[in-house]
Structure 1
Amino acid sequence: MRFFITGASGWIGSAVVPELVEAGHRVVGLARSDASTAALLAAGAEVRRGTIDDLDVLRSAAADSDGVIHLAFKHDLAFSGGFEAAAEADRLAIETFGEALAGSDRPFTIASGVIGLSPGRLATEADGLADEPSVTALTGGPEQRRRNALATLALADRGVRSSVLRFAPTVHGDGDHGFLAALITVAREKGVSGYVGDGANRWPAVHRSDAAQLVRMAVEQSPAGSTLHAVAEEGVPIREVAEAIGRRLGLPAVSVPPAEAAAHFGWLGAFIGADSPASSALTRELTGWKPTGPGLVEDLEQGHYFRAGSA
């Protein structure tokens, strides 16, 4: 099959491309720079130049494909306070893909998230699907992005084999510059490896290689209207993460009062204290996915996060 991928040169996408190529699929990646173009060509993919704002490019690429994987999101806007603009660009891209794929029964999967989906209890794939104001699920972000995910699922009624793949907040592995790298940077700057309160709050996690495998399985076999969780570990206590970072850096792991989280962790302060365990039991039953990568703490212990230039 021939798949078109946005975010193909990103952290997850750059693992999905070889996963699909090795499975015998053709891949066309969206690239907005010469560097992204070179990386995709080296990975065995074809290239469409453009951004997710280029709706004509998205429409044409989707029409020429056997399925679409939408991993791109304007995280630079989201983290700089322009989340509404980022979510709106995402909505327009999803609508464009939906129009191009309608009535074809071709697969279309988008990236979302599990953090904040069901605070304080184990979230499942059935959570966050009710289109109600009372639902505050952070399926990758605030309410508008949750609605984008619901709109994707609704495409199943228009003849699209749509699915939403919710990723753990920590998609970890060698080369990761996300949440874990940010925590390590904060620890180095502050001279302590911090956690909020007693550190018992839990974050789900998945190794990058396992996440890529599930993306492939989603477009190959998931039924229309499916919600999947890319979660290998249901919930790793943040204190254990802080202690692992502290061991590698030779720093003490210390508690940071909730009221001081923003000052200590910066932008991470809004997330680091969240208790957001999530299950992938339904995903595994539906797809047969069996994660085999190292766990989050095990990955930290391997040391690659602490090489010069890694965080």
Structure 2
Amino acid sequence: MSGKTQVFVTGATGYIGGSVLQRLLNHPSSANSEFTVLVRSEEKATKFEQAGYDNIKVLRGSLEDVDKIEAQAAKSDIVVHTADADDVGSAKAILAGLKKRKEETGKVPIYIHTSGTGVLVDRAEGAYESKTFYDDTDANQIESLADDQPHRNVDLLVVAADKEGYIKSYIILPSTIFGIATGPLFDKGIANPHSQQIPFLIKTGISRKQGGVVGEGVARWPCVHIDDIADLYGKVYDAILAGQDIGHGREGFYFGENGHYSWYDLSKAVSQALAEVGRSDKPEPTPFTKEEREKLPILWYYGTNSQCYSKRGRALGWAPKYGTEDMLKSVKPEVDAILNLQH
């Protein structure tokens, strides 16, 4: 690549995106890279511009600004998409831009796309633990997933583009991410330090004055710490820049997993933490009622199985440090943070 490597990052003010961008800024290659970040909020855009990063340019816009996204992708050697995994329009715009990049330069650009292990879910309703574990080195098993699984429609677009040959795609699939993110972008108020899944359960527990669980809570999910998932992006990025022939396209799915938990155990940790601060009468969760399920349809998700092995990342040297017990211990600090924000 001539000149500076052009890297386009979406979701840079988010939980995953902010953590990943920090890793890229600390990468040995960053001095020879120029980063463009898509930022919707004028306040966050100004904070980025005042943060003192000489190699970051701000592109004001949202995922709906597909013309801007396509134009920037067409100028980019690498796109790291950490925003909405289900946004078809922005994904198509990125792919269209990267196709132009390939046509204009003759070089195959890189697309690191964020999906999620939600693509693996079933409809267990918390009633059973699945015996199926997905292996990210088994492309045939991943291709057996139904096209209408969550995130799958966008994943298929990305893999098809790789097959056409105008990109090399690497799809990273985080599981339940835990931990409050730290670092310069979070200290400056640019990026969001909190995940979604666990805080949602906490906020729901606060409103109902007790932790909740879908059915019996027997179903299981993988988990991964925010620093560990950012390191997985870093390992993939390292390998790409080093010219290693690592899996891409249909062979380019990288699960982010370091242990599994049951929804009941997580809900119990929420209940215990709420009880400690006087927001729950009992340290045990109770099943969500039919009325609660109807009011919050997303609760079905909290009764699913999504089990997998992260073999590709580990083959690259990814060594996650934090596991299931750390995830359960992370609940109390999240409770404290949420209650502090409410005051």
Superposition TM-score tier, normalisation by shorter sequence: 0.7 to 0.9
Following superposition, the deviation at residue 111 of structure 1 comes to 0.9
Contact 1:117 1:137 in 2 (8 A): no
Q: Equivalents in 2 of 1:110, 1:118: separation in Å?
A: 19
Distance 1:305 1:91, change over 3 A: same
Is 1:228 the equivalent of 2:257?
no
Aligned match of 2:44: 36
8 Å Cα contact 2:99-2:166 kept in structure 1: no
CA shift digits 1:49-75 (9 cap, x unpaired): 22233333223322333200112228x
Whether 1:115 and 2:118 are equivalent positions in the alignment is yes
- Correspondence 1:305 to 2:335: yes
The 10-residue stretch of structure 1 (105-114 or 292-301) with the greater mean CA deviation from structure 2:
292-301
Distance 1:23 1:267, change over 3 A: same
- 1:246 paired residue number: 271
TM normalised by structure 2 equals: 0.75
CA contact (8 A) 2:221 2:305 kept: yes
Other structure's SS at 1:12 match: helix
Larger Rg: 2
Please state how far the C-alpha of 1:262 moved relative to its aligned partner: 0.8
CA contact (8 A) 1:101 1:160 kept: no
Q: Distance in 1 between matches of 2:101 and 2:218?
A: 44
Secondary structure of the corresponding residue to residue 98 of structure 2: helix
- Give the aligned partner of residue 223 of structure 2: 205
Question: 1:23-62, CA deviations, whole angstroms, 9 ceiling, x for partnerless residues?
Answer: 1424221112212213434273321222233333223322
TM-score normalized by the length of structure 1: 0.82
CA contact (8 A) 2:179 2:194 kept: yes
CA distance in 1 between partners of 2:142 and 2:94 (Å): 17
Shift, 1:91, TM fit: 4.1
Matches within 5 A, 1:61-140: 61-73=72-84, 87-102=87-102, 103-117=106-120, 119=122, 120=130, 121-125=132-136, 126=138, 129-130=142-143, 135=146, 138=149
Coordinate RMSD, CA, aligned: 2.7
The 5-angstrom pairing of residues 263-278 of structure 1 reads 263=294, 266-278=296-308
> Counterpart in 1 of 2:287?
256
Residue segments in structure 2 that go unaligned for 5+ positions in a row = 123-129, 181-192, 241-245
Q: Distance in 2 between matches of 1:258 and 1:111?
A: 33
Closer, same or farther: CA 116–70 of 1 in aligned 2, 3 Å:
closer
Deviates more, 1:11-20 or 1:53-62: 53-62
**Structure 2 vs 1, CA of residues 179 and 193 (structure 1 numbering), >3 Å: closer, same or farther?**
same
Aligned mate of 1:164, from 171, 190, 212? 171
1:19, 1:213 within 8 Å by CA — same for their partners in 2? yes
8 Å CA contact 2:76–2:98 kept in 1: the answer is no
Q: Identify the residue that residue 279 of structure 1 maps to in structure 2.
A: 309
- Answer whether contact 1:116 1:274 (CA < 8 A) is retained: no
CA-to-aligned-CA distance 1:249-306 (integer Å, 9 cap, x gap): 113323416856614x724312111121222123311x211112463112224x2432
| Contact map agreement 1:29 1:40 (CA 8 A) in 2 | no
Are the structure 2 counterparts of residues 163 and 50 from structure 1 closer, same or farther at C-alpha, using a change threshold of 3 Å? same
How many residues in Structure 1 have an aligned counterpart in Structure 2?
Answer: 288
Distance 1:291 1:304 in 2: 21
2:155 counterpart (149, 152, 159) = 149
Matches of 2:18 and 2:170 in 1, distance apart?
A: 20
Following superposition, the deviation at residue 105 of structure 1 comes to 2.5
| CA–CA separation in structure 1 for the residues paired with 2:52 and 2:222 | 29
- Structure 1 residues 259, 277: closer, same or farther in 2, change over 3 A? farther
Question: Which residue among 1, 23, 27 is the counterpart of 1:23?
Answer: 27
Quick one: which amino acid aligns to residue 256 of structure 2? A
Distance 1:204 1:150, change over 3 A: same
Partner of 1:237: 262
Structure 1: tracts of 5 or more residues without a match: 75-85
